[in-house]
Structure 1
Amino acid sequence: MYVVIVYDVAVERVNKVKKFLRRHLHWVQNSVFEGEVTLAEYERIKAGLLDIINKDEDSIIIYKLRSKPMRETLGVEKNPMEEVI
């Protein structure tokens, strides 16, 4: 499945969340990651994020998609992703 994860977490946890997600997904821009994952990897990501965040203060939204979406960038591409075959 393809996932897009966006987050809004307290400043003291931003780097922990970013570092964790960089091990699993592609960084797109500030507080946005995306990529193809297996169901097992998705569950590991979710569990890892729950260990890092404070559920009373932080917010993470995960969009689950069946396939890689078509994406169009207007303006500056913060982190260009190359097509990998």
Structure 2
Amino acid sequence: MYVIITYDVGEKRVNKVCKKLKEYLTWTQNSVFEGEISKSLLMKCMYELELIINKEEDSIYLYQVPNPKNIKKQVFGQERNFDELFI
């Protein structure tokens, strides 16, 4: 399945959340990750994120797209893939 994950977390946890999401998805913009992932890996990823965040202060939004052909993505301006910056 295709997913998009966005997050808004406390400054102390931003790097940990970003690092964890890089293990599973592609970093496309600040606080935004997306990509293909199996249900089991998604469950593992979300469990690991729950161990990092403070549920009283932080938020993570998970958008699941069962059929990525149904999503139309338009980029205005420069399209970035942050993962490529570090290769």
- Paired residues in the alignment total 81
Per the alignment, residue 3 of structure 2 pairs with 3
**Conservation of the 8 A alpha-carbon contact between 2:9 and 2:58:** yes
Letter in 1 for 2:43: E
1:79: how far off?
1.2
Write the deviation string for residues 56-84 of structure 1: whole angstroms up to 9, x where unpaired: 00000000111223311001112189xxx
Cα 1:9–1:76 shift into 2, 3 Å: same
Deviations 1:40-69 (A, max 9, x none): 001001101100000000000000111223
- Aligned positions of 1:1-85 closer than 5 A: 1-68=1-68, 69-79=71-81
For structure 2, the residue ranges without an aligned partner over 5 or more in a row are none
Q: TM-score, normalised by structure 1?
A: 0.89
RMSD: 1.5
Gaps in structure 1 of 5+ consecutive residues:
none
Amino acid at match of 2:27: W
Distance 2:11 2:35 in 1: 24
1:78 aligned partner, one-letter code: R
| Alignment deviations for residues 6-63 of structure 1 (CA, whole Å, 9 cap, x no partner) | 0000000000000000010000100000011111001001101100000000000000
Percentage identity across paired residues of the two chains? 46
